[in-house]
Amino acid sequence: MAHLRSYDRRRDPDELQPGTIISAPHHTQARSGNIPTNNRNMSFSDFGVVHSKYRKMIILETWGEHCICLPLYSYRGRGLEGRRDIAEEYISVRDDSETFWEWELSESKAGVLTAIRDPTWPMWRTFITGRTVVKLTEKLVHSYTDSCSVEGHLNEADFRRLYRIYIETVKRKEKEILGLKPDTKKGDEELEEGEISS
């Protein structure tokens, strides 16, 4: 039996803009081969046990048929408690409807991103809670043909800051992998066979 939410629907691409916070079904390999009878998040498939849940995510970029998103995690309310060694891969996100003194302190060097609940997202539905973080180094794809719910959006200035930090993170990885400064072009003698100099 499917457990779909009545308010999930296919969205017009105009509704799915960078900075929008959506939630949609997300499926991954389960870590266990056993399925408890009371766990509706796990199911058998021809490819093994699948774990499914509604994942909250921030739309990072929009393309012709899909958008690229960064996932939100609370890690069962523990935030980055067990992930201090990779804290630079995350930025804390907090609900702007909570007063500052109610916020859990930022766990990331980049400070806090402010999330604003969409007027259509019911108050009784969970939005951004406690020690929520966005993961910069993990990307999810949401197709425009798939259903989702729009929960809110990031403050515009905070989204711009998020995107800049994301690009800086990608450039650091580019340098690590290629051994080049991001703006360095290969000389003709370094071009591989069939590669064209730009």
pLDDT digits (tens, 9 = 90+) for 14-61: 999 999 999 987 765 666 666 666 666 555 565 665 656 788 999 999
pLDDT digits (tens, 9 = 90+) for 136-162: 999 999 999 999 999 999 999 999 999
73: three-class secondary structure by DSSP: strand
Residue 70 pLDDT > 80: yes
> Is a pLDDT exceeding 90 seen at residue 165?
yes
Rounded Cα–Cα distance for residues 91 and 80 (Å):
10
Residue 40 structure tokens: 């509706």
Query: CB count, 10 Å around CB of 183?
Result: 6
* 164 vs 121: CA distance, rounded Å: 28
Q: Is residue 151 exposed (0-12), middle (13-18) or buried (19+ Cβ within 10 Å)? A: buried
Segments making up each domain of the chain, as ranges: 9-29+50-181
| Closest among 144, 9, 138, 146 to 64, alpha carbons compared | 144
CATH class, domain 9-29+50-181, is: mainly beta
Give percent of the chain above pLDDT 70: 71
Residue pLDDT, tens place only, 89-143: 999 999 988 866 556 667 888 889 999 999 999 888 999 988 899 999 999 999 9
Indicate if the pLDDT at residue 174 is higher than 80.
yes
